[in-house]
């Protein structure tokens, strides 16, 4: 299914008739299909897409971040306090080293977006 969504995005992007005929609707449709493509790719709901796009965070870690600390974005990860980092490191399957790596990945992600 992922390849079908990717193909739809490519057709929308490259088809000049659609681009010039419908104006802004092509861009909106492209963005909607891209979101569905990302959801299928990562296997999560749309509220977790900003977290799963960070290297080292999948849908399970994203849910744990949200449930434990209310983290919803890369900026939230970058701004974690020392106490929050310790709380994460104490979770099963987490470690201080992993938390530090995720923070570095989140910093890179926020720099790319800016």
Residue 24: the pLDDT is 76
Pick the CATH number of 48-113 from 3.20.20.60, 3.40.190.10, 1.10.150.20, 1.10.540.10: 1.10.150.20
Q: Say if residues 90 and 109 touch (Cβ distance below 8 Å).
A: no
**Alpha-helix runs per DSSP H in the chain:** 2-14, 16-22, 24-42, 49-52, 59-69, 74-78, 82-89, 96-113
Residue 107: the pLDDT is 93
CATH 1.10.150.20 in the chain, residue ranges: 48-113
The predicted-structure confidence for 42-68, as pLDDT tens digits, reads as follows 888 888 998 998 999 999 999 999 999
- The ranges of the chain with pLDDT < 50 are none
Residue 36: strand, helix, or coil: helix
Q: Say if residues 58 and 87 touch (Cβ distance below 8 Å).
A: no
**Of 48, 40, 46, 51, residue with least CA distance to 7:** 40
- Indicate if the alpha-carbon torsion angle 42, 47, 48, 51 is positive or negative: positive
Q: Which percentage of the chain shows pLDDT scores above 70?
A: 93
**H or E segment to which residue 53 belongs:** none
What is the distance between the alpha carbons of residues 5 and 1, in angstroms, rounded to a whole number?
7
């Amino acid at each position: 299914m992922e390849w079908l969504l990717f193909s739809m995005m490519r057709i929308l992007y490259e088809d000049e008739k659609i681009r010039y005929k419908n104006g802004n609707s092509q861009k909106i449709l492209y963005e909607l299909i891209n979101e569905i493509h990302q959801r299928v790719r990562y296997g999560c709901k749309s509220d977790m897409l900003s977290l799963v796009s960070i290297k080292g965070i999948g849908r399970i870690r994203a849910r744990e971040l949200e449930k434990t600390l209310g983290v919803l974005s890369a900026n939230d990860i970058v701004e974690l306090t020392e106490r929050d980092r310790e709380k994460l490191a104490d979770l099963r399957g987490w470690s201080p080293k992993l938390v530090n790596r995720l923070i570095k990945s989140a910093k890179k992600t926020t720099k790319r977006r800016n």
